C-alpha cells in the first residue's frame, strides 16, 4: 500500500492548480513520449485493432465514405487511424487537451505492420492496402501532413462538450480507455450527446478500463482496491484531476446507455478475484460479478 498511497499523494499535488497540472502533462508526455517513440508496443494495442476490425466486419458498422468520431484520442489516435487502414473513412479526432505524439504513433505502426500478416484474418487486398497506408503514414513529418493524407480533422474542446457537432452526423463514436476518466456527473450528458450526433442505426463502441488506476503503480495492490473506499475517503485521499477515474461499474455503464435507448449488441469483460476485498457502502448492493470487472468492451447501436 505504500506505493499506492505515495502515488495518490503525488497525483493530488499535481492537481493543485493549472500550473502544476501543466507540469504533470509536460513531464508525462516527455517520459511517456520517449517510451512510445523508441519502445516496444504493448500487446493490447494490436489486440484493439483485431477487436475493432472484427466488430466492424461482423456487424457492418462502417463502410467506405462514412464519418466517425473518436473520443479522447490522446497520444496516438489509435482507434480511428487503425480503422482507416481498412476503410476510406472521414474521422474527427476529439480531445479535451493536446497530448499528440507523432513519433509514438509512427513507432507503433511500424511494429503493427508485420503483425498484420498473421492473426488478423485479412484478405490479400486488405493487407496490401493497410501496409501501404502505414508506409505513407511513417513518412509524414507533422500532424497537419498526417491529417491531409487521411482526411482527418482534429478538435480540442476543454469542456468536453459535443455541442459543435450536428445531429445525426456520425456513423460511429469510438473510444479506447477514455470514458473511465470522464467525471461521473458529466456522463449522462455525454451519452445523450452521443446518441444525438449518431445517425439512426449508428454505433457507439467503447473499451472502458474499470480497474483502480493507482494499482498500476503498486504491483501488490488489487486491481479493484478502490472498492473499499467510501466517497469521502476516496475524495480526500485519492481523487485527483490529472488521472481522474470515475469508479463507475459495469451495471452503471449498462444503465447509462440502455436508459438512453441504445441497444447492447456485444459485450466482453475481464474480471479479477475480489473475494478478499472490503467493499464500501457505495458498491455494497452491486452485483459482485460487475464489481470484479477490470475491462469492459461494449458495442451499442442507436435504433434505426
Residues 6+ apart with CB under 8 A from 111: 40, 41
pLDDT digits (tens, 9 = 90+) for 224-250: 999 999 999 999 999 998 899 999 999
In this prediction, residue 119 has a pLDDT band, given cuts at 50, 70 and 90, of confident
Query: Hey, where are the domains in the chain?
Result: 2-301
Give dist(CA 68, CA 83) in Å, integer: 10
Assigned C-alpha cell, 82: 487503425
Strands 293-301, 152-156: pairing is unpaired
Q: Where are the alpha helices (DSSP H) in the chain?
A: 2-14, 18-38, 44-59, 78-84, 102-115, 124-139, 143-150, 187-197, 231-237, 250-258, 288-291
Helix (H), strand (E) at residue 7: helix 2-14
Write down the pLDDT at residue 121: 87
Stretch (H or E) spanning 269: strand 263-271
According to the CATH classification, is domain 2-301 in 3.40.50.150?
A: yes
The pLDDT value recorded for residue 26 is 83
- Give the model's confidence band at 126: pLDDT under 50 very low, under 70 low, under 90 confident, else very high: very high
**Average pLDDT value for residue range 90-119:** 95
What is the distance in angstroms between the CA of the first residue and the CA of the last residue of the chain?
A: 49
Return the closest-CA partner of residue 132 out of 116, 145, 152: 116
Amino acid at each position: 500500500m505504500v506505493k499506492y498511497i505515495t502515488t495518490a499523494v503525488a497525483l493530488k499535488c499535481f492537481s493543485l492548480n493549472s500550473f502544476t497540472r501543466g507540469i504533470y502533462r509536460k513531464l508525462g508526455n516527455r517520459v511517456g513520449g520517449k517510451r512510445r517513440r523508441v519502445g516496444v508496443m504493448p500487446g493490447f494495442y494490436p489486440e484493439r485493432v483485431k477487436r475493432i476490425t472484427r466488430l466492424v466486419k461482423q456487424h457492418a458498422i462502417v463502410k467506405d465514405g462514412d464519418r466517425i468520431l473518436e473520443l479522447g484520442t490522446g497520444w496516438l489516435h489509435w482507434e480511428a487511424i487503425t480503422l482507416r487502414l481498412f476503410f476510406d473513412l472521414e474521422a474527427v479526432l476529439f480531445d479535451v487537451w493536446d497530448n499528440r505524439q507523432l513519433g509514438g504513433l509512427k513507432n507503433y505502426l511500424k511494429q503493427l505492420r508485420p503483425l498484420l500478416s498473421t492473426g488478423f484474418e485479412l484478405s490479400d487486398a486488405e493487407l496490401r492496402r493497410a501496409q501501404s497506408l502505414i508506409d505513407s503514414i511513417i513518412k509524414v513529418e507533422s500532424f497537419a501532413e498526417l491529417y491531409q493524407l487521411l482526411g482527418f480533422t482534429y478538435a480540442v474542446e476543454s469542456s468536453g462538450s459535443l455541442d459543435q457537432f450536428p445531429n445525426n452526423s456520425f456513423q460511429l463514436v469510438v473510444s479506447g480507455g477514455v470514458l473511465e476518466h470522464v467525471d461521473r456527473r458529466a456522463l449522462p450528458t455525454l451519452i445523450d450527446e452521443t446518441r444525438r450526433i449518431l445517425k439512426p442505426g449508428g454505433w457507439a463502441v467503447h473499451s472502458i478500463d474499470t480497474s483502480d488506476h493507482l494499482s498500476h503503480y503498486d504491483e501488490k495492490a488489487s486491481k479493484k482496491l478502490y472498492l473499499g473506499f467510501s466517497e469521502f475517503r476516496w475524495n480526500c485521499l485519492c481523487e485527483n484531476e490529472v488521472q481522474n477515474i470515475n469508479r463507475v461499474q459495469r451495471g452503471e455503464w449498462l444503465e447509462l446507455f440502455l436508459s438512453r435507448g441504445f441497444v447492447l449488441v456485444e459485450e466482453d469483460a475481464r474480471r479479477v478475484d475480489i473475494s478478499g476485498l472490503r467493499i464500501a457502502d457505495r458498491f455494497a448492493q452491486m452485483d459482485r460479478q460487475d464489481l470484479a470487472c477490470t475491462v469492459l468492451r461494449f458495442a451499442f447501436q442507436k435504433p434505426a
